Amino acid sequence: METYNIAVLPGDGIGPEVMDVTLKVLDLVAEHHQLQFSFQKADVGGTAIDQHGTALPDPTLEICRQSDAILFGSVGGPKWEHLPPKEQPERASLLPLRKAFSLFANLRPGLLYPSLIPASPLKPEIIPDGIDILCVRELTGGIYFGDRYTKVLGNNDIEAADTMIYRKSEIERIARVAISAAQNRKKRVCLVDKANVLETSVLWRKTVSDYMEAYAPDIELETMYVDNAAMQLVRNPSQFDVILTENMFGDILSDEMGVVCGSLGMLASASLGMLENRFAHPFGLFEPAGGTAPDIAGKNLANPCAQILSAALLLRFSLGLDEVAAAIEHAVSKVVNGGTRTGDIAFGGPFVSTTEMGDAICMALSA
Ligand code: NAD
């Protein structure tokens, strides 16, 4: 039996609670599908600062290196907010992990089940069937990584600049990710750019359309300016299947999409790298879109769905276990649509605990 090595980094706040429930779900699907998962747990974030003096200790990084993928909880909290920005748990663990594994592709599913429509700030008539979008964002290039400066000019004015640089190879690399994701969805990609103004966007348009014409003629490609995309996400989000975009536009649009989809407790994310693991799939880090929720941490109140759905993405993208991932996703939707709710999605009605939600999902998987 093949053994899949998964680095498990629960982190802080609600991280350990939702991770425990998620590992139970993974153990159960392993049993059902004759798989073997080997979980290597390691400290990260504030917990790691307390235990080892640093947010990403070397042994944790080494465990990640020995693994096929990383299942990450979330990090940070009031206890570590006094630290200098560079030493803050999020910055000092997630950024080095992204760098160490060249995680260039960020995938954020924007999923809103029809039964959770009241969680969205949008009017129900705009989203009668809920929302199902995948945002694919380039994560290691563009303006966040280009040269920058601030300088005082001769006339005592001040000038600052940030440079947005993209290479054709970088664009093709992320286009491949969007294409492969679209193949398993509705086969539609919307490239979001600002090609009426930016040179980099002109390159994105040409590169993506040439690449898709050559290698993915079955995928429908649409292009949209970013200002229009921001508007369309609130006017008619159902028109999107896969959104493909560069780093800064993706940063903004994926957060907007998260808000439109309602609760953070339901939203998963994946960051994929170039490195192929033993199974010829990209290495990746999989984590909930939300943070450590200090307001409810330690109370068995957190919604574990985002973490469980992140584990499903791990199975699909890094281990190639699409069927097992789909079984987990189906169980989560069945439980939530069936009315079992944690507090964040209960709309004032009765709600269950983190562990009870996990048990309900395990029961749905076993049914
Ligand atoms: P947050 O996402 O932790 O919480 C915002 C709100 O959403 C809170 O009311 C919280 O209770 C709720 N929420 C989030 N996840 C939930 C879940 N699974 N179930 C139920 N409710 C949930 O954002 P914040 O309060 O701005 O940040 C808290 C800490 O988390 C900060 O230290 C921040 O730096 C950190 N953070 C970490 C990450 C990460 O690890 N990737 C991401 C965002 C924030």
pLDDT digit string, tens, across residues 166-213: 999 999 999 999 999 999 899 999 999 999 999 999 999 999 999 999
Indicate the SS3 state at residue 197.
coil
Atom 23 of ligand 1, residue of closest alpha carbon = 291
Ligand 1 mean position to 20 CA, how many Å?
18
Provide the annotated active-site residues.
144, 194, 227, 251, 255
pLDDT at 85: 87
Residue-by-residue DSSP string for 209-258 = HHHHHHH-TTSEEEEEEHHHHHHHHHH-GGG-SEEEE-HHHHHHHHHHHH
Ligand 1 mean position to 167 CA, how many Å?
34
Atom 18 of ligand 1, residue of closest alpha carbon = 265
pLDDT at 274: 78
pLDDT at 262: 84
Atom 8 of ligand 1, residue of closest alpha carbon = 293
Ligand 1 mean position to 293 CA, how many Å?
4
Ligand 1 mean position to 290 CA, how many Å?
5
Closest CA to 183 of 322, 282, 315, 288: 322
Ligand 1 mean position to 175 CA, how many Å?
30
Indicate the SS3 state at residue 316.
helix
Ligand 1 atom at shortest distance from the alpha carbon of 72: 40
Any residues with CB less than 8 A from the CB of 66 and at least 6 apart, and which? 5, 7, 40
pLDDT at 128: 95
Residue 196 CB-half CA count within 13 A: 7
**What is the helix (H) or strand (E) element at residue 168, kind and residue range?**
helix 168-183
Atom 6 of ligand 1, residue of closest alpha carbon = 293
Ligand 1 mean position to 98 CA, how many Å?
20
Atom 13 of ligand 1, residue of closest alpha carbon = 293
Domain range annotation of the chain:
1-104+262-367, 121-260
Ligand 1 atom at shortest distance from the alpha carbon of 81: 32
From 344, 352, 357, give the residue whose CB has the most ligand 1 atoms within 8 Å, as the site to mutate: 344
Q: CATH: 3.40.718.10, 2.60.120.560, 3.40.50.720, 3.40.50.300. Which one for 121-260? A: 3.40.718.10
Ligand 1 atom at shortest distance from the alpha carbon of 302: 19
Q: Judge contact between 8 and 40, C-beta under 8 A.
A: yes
Atom 25 of ligand 1, residue of closest alpha carbon = 293
Closest CA to 362 of 15, 4, 135, 31: 31
pLDDT at 276: 73
From 49, 90, 108, give the residue whose CB has the most ligand 1 atoms within 8 Å, as the site to mutate: 90
The number of beta carbons lying within 10 Å of the beta carbon of residue 207 is 20
Tokens of 12: 């802080």
Helices 226-235 and 247-260 pack at an angle, to 10 degrees, of: 10
Which class is domain 1-104+262-367?
Answer: alpha beta
Which residues of the chain form beta strands (DSSP E)?
3-11, 36-41, 69-74, 103-112, 131-138, 148-152, 158-162, 188-193, 220-225, 242-245, 268-276, 282-288
What single-letter amino acid sits at 123?
A: K
Sequence-ordered alpha helix ranges (H) in 33-74: 46-52, 58-65
Summarised one tens digit per residue, pLDDT across range 148-160 is: 999 999 999 999 9
Q: Judge contact between 131 and 113, C-beta under 8 A.
A: no
Ligand 1 atom at shortest distance from the alpha carbon of 88: 34
Atom 36 of ligand 1, residue of closest alpha carbon = 291
Q: Assess whether the region 1-104+262-367 and the region 121-260 belong to the same CATH fold.
A: yes
pLDDT at 18: 98
pLDDT at 132: 96
Task: Please tell me the distance from the alpha carbon of residue 179 to that of residue 168, in angstroms, as a whole number.
Answer: 16
Consecutive 10-residue runs of the chain (367 residues): their mean pLDDT?
94 98 98 96 98 97 96 97 93 92 96 94 96 96 94 95 97 95 95 98 98 97 98 97 97 93 92 82 95 97 98 96 96 96 94 98 96
3-state secondary structure 341-367: CCHHHCCCCCCCCHHHHHHHHHHHHHC
Q: Give the binding-site residues of ligand 1, using a 6 Å CB cut-off.
A: 14, 74-77, 90, 94, 264-265, 287, 290-296, 302-303, 306, 344
Ligand 1 mean position to 116 CA, how many Å?
20
